[in-house]
Structure 1
Amino acid sequence: MHTKKQLLWADLSLLFIALAWGYTFILSKDLLTELTPFVFTGTRFLVAALILLPFVWKRLRSVSREVWIQGAVCGIALCAAYTLQILGIERTTPGKAGVITGTNVILVPFLYFLWRRLPVKKGAVIGSLLAFAGLLCLSGEGEWAGLSSGDLLVFLCAVFFALHILMVDRAYEKHQDIDTLAFVMIQLMVVGVIDTAIAAVSEPIPHQLSGYGWFAFWFDCLIGTLLAYVVQIKAQQFSPPVHVSILLSLEAVFAFLFSWLLWGEPLTTVVVIGVALMLAGIYVTELSDHKEKADEVDRI
């Protein structure tokens, strides 16, 4: 049974990831002027995996065949999500991409029901609907109105992000002693190898990056990929999938704020209402989840 301290650590960690990912939408949009999509995604994950490799090399040898398979399947879902996202970002604004990615908040509880045939908690459903209402406010406002091909690609990426959250949760249910770093390593390597292979046969090799380009690449690689997925997958040991998706959906709020500050996207009353609804959804889910967890902890 998890303690209140562990639950708080998980929540704060997921909040940090959401902040970092919100910023990476801006960096990724800018970096795509210097790198092609598959080169960027492939090298980002491959470099992150190679950095992690020395720390998990011995652990990988003790990982069971079943965990390897589950890690590879999770990696394929993650690869689909990031590939679709980066192709979508190329065709839409970073703020809008962040908000549409956040629609996984409404997908997770219902995919969870369809996949597991288990009831979804009332608080999670209400929180997800509030957050989704906020996303609708953001997506239908001003310059955001209407869907482009990039928006549709990013929405498909949200579906795969939702599936990835559920797959990781399922893996932890079946193997509670999974080595987090080894599990992350398998997924990073799968994404890196697949997208690098596609880049090798379909895209030109870049000759050089600007100073800002290197900063954007290494931030995406180290913070937005390596650290983010180690923390997320560790945090999922303590938080249920719907709860995780609600907190990570805050990346949409952060993406829009960074896009407003750095890209000049408009900040209107409807946008503020949308952000407020998203925060309300998170609060409702937090309140419901923490009440249940606190009751469980108190009974220990």
Structure 2
Amino acid sequence: MALTVQRKADLALIMVVMFWGTSNLLTKVGLGDLNEFNLIALRFVIAFILTSVIFRKRLMAVDFGTVKRAAVLSLILFCVFIFATFGVRHTTVSNAGFLTCLSGIIVPMINFAFFRIKQDRLTVISIAMAIVGVWLLIAGTSITFNLGDILCILCSVAFAVHILVTERLTRQVDSVALGVIQLGFVGVYATTFSFVLETPTLPVSFSNWMVVLGLSVFSTAIAFVTQTVAQKYTTATHTGIIFTFEPLFSVIVAYIFLGEVLSFRGYVGAILMLASLMLIELKSQFGKVVSR
């Protein structure tokens, strides 16, 4: 059976989440050598240079409207990474992975509260399953709240806003150019803050250079351009639910590199989250027949 455009977009977003599932671990390692704004600046400047070279022809055709939209998106994204990076500094990789995924729950809530967009029954069931799954994962790791946890929750709120704004702005302009310029703006903001509030440096070891490059190429350049393009062909609700799967990939990375193992409740939560994704994808394929 041929894949629909929306299904391809959803699969692309799953790839993005896989990259982001490793980013908290890489960020934690990178912060051992660099300050927060310094790390964000390197991450986004390198990502912008890479993507601007790849998509240089599309950037040459950019109009002022695209630049304005990118400026709006980049301010929101910068807030996302301020909360996320400082959050990872003050909490564990596992906590950060779990709490930053709350955007999947917040997106439909914002849609309903501010735009009066009602969610169908199957979507509500999928969201409920994802909520229970996240809770079981959290309970399975005995999470305790601290400053880092609060910052990660604020990251989720900011990212939910970013998802919704991206969905609206990408339908009016070249989504690739919008995504690339967005990276450049965040790099400029972070570099400015780093020079004002910190003493900018470069990584001192080969391993930390690999961390920065991993964050720049996979978790930033590929991920955010893919997200920007894919969201043009799917919905904010689908995007939000798919993004709740970031903790699963964080768990896999933690198991491979740190030897961490989930509790029984954690595995039940993981299964529920996977089931919620299957349910929302089933709705996408069969539409009204399934939702009856």
Q: What is the TM-score of this pair, normalised by structure 2?
A: 0.92
Aligned to 1:162: 160
How far is 1:56 from its partner? 4.2
Aligned to 1:272: 267
How far is 1:197 from its partner? 0.7
**Secondary structure at 1:209 match in 2:** coil
- Counterpart code for 1:220: L
Note the 1:83-102 alignment, pairs <5 A.
83-102=82-101
**Secondary structure at 2:162 match in 1:** helix
Aligned to 1:123: 122
**Secondary structure at 2:266 match in 1:** helix
**1: CA distance between counterparts of 2:199 and 2:260?**
32
**Secondary structure at 2:67 match in 1:** helix
Aligned to 1:286: 281
**2: CA distance between counterparts of 1:265 and 1:222?**
26
Gaps of 5+ in 1: 296-300
Indicate yes or no: 2:14 matched with 1:15: yes
**2: CA distance between counterparts of 1:226 and 1:249?**
21
How far is 1:239 from its partner? 0.8
Indicate yes or no: 2:199 matched with 1:204: yes
- Counterpart code for 1:157: C
CA RMSD of aligned residues (A): 2.0
Indicate yes or no: 2:65 matched with 1:70: no
**2: CA distance between counterparts of 1:186 and 1:115?**
28
Greater shift after overlay, 56-65 or 250-259?
56-65
How far is 1:65 from its partner? 3.2
Aligned to 1:145: 143
**2: CA distance between counterparts of 1:121 and 1:66?**
34
How far is 1:266 from its partner? 4.2
How far is 1:57 from its partner? 4.6
**Secondary structure at 2:232 match in 1:** coil
**2: CA distance between counterparts of 1:209 and 1:10?**
38
Greater shift after overlay, 200-209 or 277-286?
200-209
**Secondary structure at 2:170 match in 1:** helix
How far is 1:251 from its partner? 1.2
**Secondary structure at 1:237 match in 2:** helix
Aligned to 2:109: 110
How far is 1:58 from its partner? 5.0
**2: CA distance between counterparts of 1:204 and 1:97?**
26
Q: 1:219 aligns with which of 204, 214, 217?
A: 214
How far is 1:114 from its partner? 2.4
- Counterpart code for 2:164: L
How far is 1:84 from its partner? 0.5
Aligned to 1:298: none
| Sequence identity percentage | 29
Gaps of 5+ in 2: none
Note the 1:229-240 alignment, pairs <5 A.
229-240=224-235
Would you say the 8 A contact 1:130–1:278 is kept in 2? Answer: yes
Deviations 1:25-59 (A, max 9, x none): 11111111111111001111112112222344554
- Counterpart code for 1:213: N
- Aligned in 2, Cα 1:67/1:292: closer, same or farther, shift over 3 Å? farther
Aligned to 1:82: 81
**1: CA distance between counterparts of 2:51 and 2:114?**
32
How far is 1:208 from its partner? 3.8
How far is 1:189 from its partner? 1.3
- Counterpart code for 2:45: L
**2: CA distance between counterparts of 1:33 and 1:141?**
28
**2: CA distance between counterparts of 1:56 and 1:11?**
23
**2: CA distance between counterparts of 1:293 and 1:86?**
42
How far is 1:192 from its partner? 0.8
Aligned to 1:41: 40
Would you say the 8 A contact 2:42–2:212 is kept in 1? Answer: no
- Aligned in 2, Cα 1:145/1:261: closer, same or farther, shift over 3 Å? same
Would you say the 8 A contact 1:22–1:98 is kept in 2? Answer: yes
**Secondary structure at 2:233 match in 1:** coil
Give the aligned length.
Answer: 289
